Chain A
């Protein structure tokens, strides 16, 4: 190799998900096996991120406009991991809600403070409801950066971080 370039070995896993709760467990098992050999905290953070994103897609998402399944994609090399979940959405307000949360998280340099604030709001509600803590947890506990895009009726949420 010339110029001191590093060749990184990249692994990828891509799964089409039928949106059921049994599927969430199955994907989590496959993702955990896929990460074997990595640091335990990294595995915990990444499997947590996978679980939270897939649960959101199953809870709030639908099949894509062309009838496609929810898709899960994860790529890992020696330095970083990237996770992507794509799904259809029921209406524009669902997308706007996700967009607001991700923009809120990404505009802050203190994910712990955002997470604690959100947890406090949820804990003080007189009645329980939808948690909506998952994305905040991915940023705080998992140390992931979040992105999203919405094209042709398909919402894709991505999370990425360095392995170290």
Chain B
């Protein structure tokens, strides 16, 4: 399952979501609709869920907010959440710091994009 447009792609597998492209949507509710699939995946997952954003070269602040809401959702559901990032990308490097401030148990894995 997932969503694919000419700008971005979201692929959802059991216990894993892969986001790639450019997420610059006009409306915060559009992000909520996309990320609702990830939140459902978290609820249905076993102990752990992974979100891979290595291939996402831009996400707007509305998208980062939606991502933060997913982190809080995992925290409330008692699920381990792993965020896979490319430290070479400024937005990912900076966002990871902020998201870890929301939940210190958020696990970060660094990969080269």
Query: Which A residues are within 8 Å of any B CB, using their own CB?
Result: 21, 24-25, 28, 40-41, 44-45, 47-48, 51-52, 55, 58-59, 112, 115-116, 119-120, 122-124, 128-131, 133-134, 136-137, 140-141
9 pairs, A vs B, C-beta closer than 8 Å = A58-B26, A120-B68, A122-B65, A122-B69, A128-B28, A134-B60, A140-B94, A141-B90, A141-B95
A-B Cβ contacts below 8 A, count: 78
Contacts of A59 on B, CB cut-off 8 Å?
A: 26
Cβ–Cβ contact B69 & A128, under 8 A = yes
Give the interface residue-count category, chain B: 20 to 34
Query: Which B residues are within 8 Å of any A CB, using their own CB?
Result: 24, 26, 28-29, 31-32, 58, 60-62, 64-66, 68-69, 71-72, 89-91, 94-95, 97-99, 101-102
Q: Which residue on chain A has the smallest CB distance to residue B101? A: A116
A29 to chain B, nearest CB (A): 11
B29 to chain A, nearest CB (A): 7
